[in-house]
């Protein structure tokens, strides 16, 4: 803990744990930021994904913005890797494949897969414990979805 953490609170999430909503969104944000910047297509894809999910049906724009602020602090502090590290353990088992598929979709949204994005997706597959053949199926479908 740093010197100023004692005075001003250094925790990204005010001393509380990451929620499943933050975990899901954080992984998508990490995927969008994996190559060092968030392309417009990636940001739109993230928002569209969140907006259509039942998991986020009770989220107001203010609640969403507060959640993003928490996640951006983590991202700025330690990059996409720290965000993945903090978020993966909080993703419910039934949403692991879902978040992986959506992260792949976001990485593919701008039409280019940088080395950093490829590494993040591979790390995510391992951290989420998604079997290789299942991960390959998901990636194939996302590639098809994002053609053209």
Domains of the chain as residue ranges with CATH: 16-145 (1.10.3680.10)
pLDDT class of 22 with cuts at 50, 70, 90: very high
63 pLDDT more than 70: yes
Q: In angstroms, what CA-CA distances link 33 with 2, 8, 25, 47, 136?
A: 26, 27, 12, 14, 22
What is the mean pLDDT of the segment spanning 62-85?
Answer: 94
- To the nearest 10°, report the CA torsion of 62, 21, 72, 40: -80
Half-sphere exposure (CA, 13 Å, Cβ side) for 59?
19
70 pLDDT more than 90: yes
3-state secondary structure of 86: helix
Burial level of 138, CB count in 10 A (0-12/13-18/19+)?
Answer: buried
105 pLDDT more than 60: yes
Closest alpha carbon to 130 in 93, 79, 105: 93
Burial level of 121, CB count in 10 A (0-12/13-18/19+)?
Answer: buried
């Amino acid at each position: 803990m740093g010197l100023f953490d004692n005075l001003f609170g250094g925790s990204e999430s005010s001393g509380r744990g990451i929620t499943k909503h933050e975990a899901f969104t954080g992984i998508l944000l990490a995927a969008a930021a994996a190559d060092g910047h968030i392309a417009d297509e990636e940001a739109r894809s993230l928002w569209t994904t969140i907006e259509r999910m039942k998991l986020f049906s009770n989220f107001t724009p203010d609640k969403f913005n507060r959640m993003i602020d928490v996640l951006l602090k983590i991202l700025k502090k330690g990059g996409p890797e720290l965000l993945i590290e903090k978020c993966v353990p909080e993703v419910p088992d039934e949403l692991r494949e879902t978040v992986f598929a959506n992260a792949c979709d976001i990485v593919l949204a701008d039409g280019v897969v940088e080395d950093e994005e490829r590494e993040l997706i591979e790390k995510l597959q391992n951290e989420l414990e998604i079997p290789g053949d299942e991960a390959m199926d998901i990636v194939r479908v996302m590639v098809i979805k994002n053609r053209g």
